């Protein structure tokens, strides 16, 4: 239950220092839960081009990382999903809540929230996710200005951790997995959101066109990059770095992610298991590339794949 007075100073300061989506979500849930009359709060972040949402509720036992996010379909008819999908906030008093979402309203039980607010986290045309509160108040948002200001701050924090400047980066494994010095190597840091795969494809195409790489090889390289970077965006939620190495007869592409004991990794899987529902993108990489694998240092984990530059 929220308190009658919210001191946002410490929370806003903590939000400005957040280093990843987990830290941002934890601050947002603490802030929303402290608002008057709030019985439940939630945070959602868009993934897979907005087709899915990663959702985290204030019901979670701990807000210490790693957080137990769950995946939900962005097209389910729910206040938060509708707000994120359409880009329009959902602010409903009890009567409006019951009319717009009768099944959800009816399933709340005796301690039902009386109103609902779902706010879109958006930057221009980009919808990054949303914030959700159920409240035991007839007025769903008596603190509209406070909510609007905090929503803008969450958007700013997400944009800050999801983007990084182009150019030289340190997040690169020291050595090509073949052990040989490449003739040319370039790399680019990628955003940690749904725009990451597209950014990887554009960068890689520019490189390969400049090197006059055959179009068939280029298309295979782009497809594999899209699959690997999508995996990082969906499962790791960290900015990654794509690098491409050109050798005499082959092309090697790496996707690097920061590594640590508590961070998820994209690992090689058993591609012969017909019952596996994970790693289908890596199965495509396996089919399209001459070879592929993973390498690690204490601070960097990398998925790499190799393509031949000559006909076989």
pLDDT recorded at residue 284: 85
Cα 30-31-36 angle, rounded to 5 deg: 110
| Residues whose CB is less than 8 angstroms from the CB of residue 289 and which lie 6 or more positions away in sequence, other chains included | 220, 224, 305, 306, 307
- What tens digit of pLDDT does each residue of 105-158 get? 888 766 667 899 999 999 887 888 999 999 999 999 999 999 999 999 999 888
Alpha helices in the chain (DSSP H): 9-16, 21-33, 79-86, 94-100, 102-106, 144-162, 196-210, 215-231, 280-288
Instruction: Label residue 61 by pLDDT band (50, 70, 90).
Output: confident
- What tens digit of pLDDT does each residue of 196-255 get? 888 889 889 988 888 888 899 999 999 999 888 888 777 766 678 888 888 878 898 988
Tell me the DSSP string of 209-250. HHTT--HHHHHHHHHHHHHHHHHIIIII-S-EEEEEEE-SSE
Mean pLDDT of 161-185: 49
Rounded CA-CA distance 15/150 in Å is: 10
Are the C-beta atoms of 277 and 237 separated by less than 8 Å? no
pLDDT recorded at residue 248: 74
Are the C-beta atoms of 120 and 172 separated by less than 8 Å? no
pLDDT recorded at residue 6: 52
Please give the order of strands across the beta sheet that includes 52-57.
Answer: 70-73, 52-57, 38-47, 126-135, 115-123, 90-92
The percentage of the chain sitting over the pLDDT mark of 90, rounded to a whole number, equals 32
* Summary mean pLDDT of the chain: 79
Rounded CA-CA distance 198/240 in Å is: 13
Rounded CA-CA distance 307/168 in Å is: 24
DSSP tag of 138: S
pLDDT recorded at residue 212: 87
Res. 280: pLDDT tops 70: no
Rounded CA-CA distance 35/4 in Å is: 7
pLDDT recorded at residue 274: 42
pLDDT recorded at residue 182: 56
| Residues whose CB is less than 8 angstroms from the CB of residue 82 and which lie 6 or more positions away in sequence, other chains included | 88, 90, 118
Catalogue all structural domains in the chain, each as residue range(s) with its CATH number. 9-162 (3.30.450.40), 184-308 (3.30.565.10)
Res. 266: pLDDT tops 60: no
CB atoms within 10 A of CB 95: 12
Question: Which of the residue ranges 8-12, 26-30, 122-126, 277-281 has the most confident prediction, judged by mean pLDDT?
Answer: 26-30
Res. 301: pLDDT tops 90: no
Please give the order of strands across the beta sheet that includes 240-246.
Answer: 184-190, 240-246, 250-258, 300-308, 291-296
pLDDT recorded at residue 188: 81
């Amino acid at each position: 239950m929220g308190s009658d007075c919210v001191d946002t100073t410490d929370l806003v300061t903590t939000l400005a220092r957040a280093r990843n989506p987990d830290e941002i979500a934890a601050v947002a849930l603490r802030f929303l839960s402290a608002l008057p009359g709030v019985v439940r709060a939630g945070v959602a972040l868009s993934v897979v081009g907005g087709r899915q949402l990663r959702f985290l509720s204030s019901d979670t036992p701990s807000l210490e990382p790693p957080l137990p996010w769950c995946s939900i379909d962005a097209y389910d008819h729910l206040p938060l999903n509708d707000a994120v999908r359409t880009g329009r906030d959902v602010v409903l008093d009890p009567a409006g809540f019951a009319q717009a979402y009768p099944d959800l309203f009816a399933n709340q039980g005796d301690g039902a929230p009386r109103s609902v607010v779902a706010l879109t986290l958006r930057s221009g045309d980009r919808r990054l996710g949303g914030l959700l509160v159920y409240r035991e108040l007839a007025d769903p948002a008596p603190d509209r200005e406070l909510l609007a200001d905090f929503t803008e701050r969450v958007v700013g924090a997400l944009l800050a951790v999801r983007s990084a400047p182009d150019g030289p980066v340190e997040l690169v494994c020291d050595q090509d997995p073949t052990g040989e010095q490449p003739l040319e190597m370039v790399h680019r840091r990628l955003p940690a959101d749904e725009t990451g795969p597209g950014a990887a494809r554009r960068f890689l195409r520019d490189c390969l066109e400049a090197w006059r790489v055959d179009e068939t090889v280029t298309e295979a390289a782009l497809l594999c990059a899209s699959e690997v970077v999508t995996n990082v965006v969906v499962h790791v939620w960290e900015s990654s770095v794509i690098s491409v190495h050109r050798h005499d007869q082959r092309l090697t592409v790496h996707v690097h992610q920061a590594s640590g004991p508590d961070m998820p990794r994209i690992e090689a899987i058993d591609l012969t298991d017909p019952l596996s529902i994970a790693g289908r993108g890596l199965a495509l990489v396996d089919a399209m590339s001459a070879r592929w694998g993973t390498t690690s240092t204490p601070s960097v984990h990398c998925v790499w794949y190799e393509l031949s530059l000559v006909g076989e």
